Amino acid sequence: ALPDLTPDVEACFYRIAQEALENTIRHANAQQVEMHLLQRENQLELWIKDDGLGFDPLDVDAEQKLGLRGMHERALGVGGVLEISSQPEVGTVIRLSVEVSP
């Protein structure tokens, strides 16, 4: 069973998943998307991976930049870490990790 989460942490996971999936639909042209939510000791992790077009994280347009910045700010707001790895023609992986009480 998942631990009890504060409303802020719940909202963070929901909004980051929502933004990541919307970005996949809008930009990635992916055939497959995987989403995993798992608990490792005192860490709750969300992984979203697609096999889409990918992108260079250092070279994104203003709209993408705003969405990525918003996801990072949400993660930081609950003491979490957001990692985004992507390469053109390879796909994208987004990982959110937040410390939770067991």
Q: Which residue has the higher pLDDT, 38 or 66?
A: 38
Q: Give the model's pLDDT for residue 93.
A: 98
Q: What is the CA radius of gyration of the chain?
A: 14
Q: What is the pLDDT confidence band of residue 77, given thresholds at 50, 70 and 90? A: very high
SS3 content of the chain, % helix, strand, coil (to 5): 35, 30, 30
- Give the residue among 86, 15, 74 at the shortest CA–CA distance from 49: 86
- Residue 80 Cα to chain centre, angstroms: 11
Instruction: Report the chain's mean pLDDT, rounded to a whole number.
Output: 92
Is pLDDT at 44 greater than 90 in this prediction? yes
Q: Give the model's pLDDT for residue 102.
A: 72
**What separation in angstroms does the CA of 13 have from each of 24, 32, 45, 55, 61?**
16, 21, 9, 23, 24
Q: Give the model's pLDDT for residue 62.
A: 63
Which domains does the chain show, CATH number per domain? 7-99 (3.30.565.10)
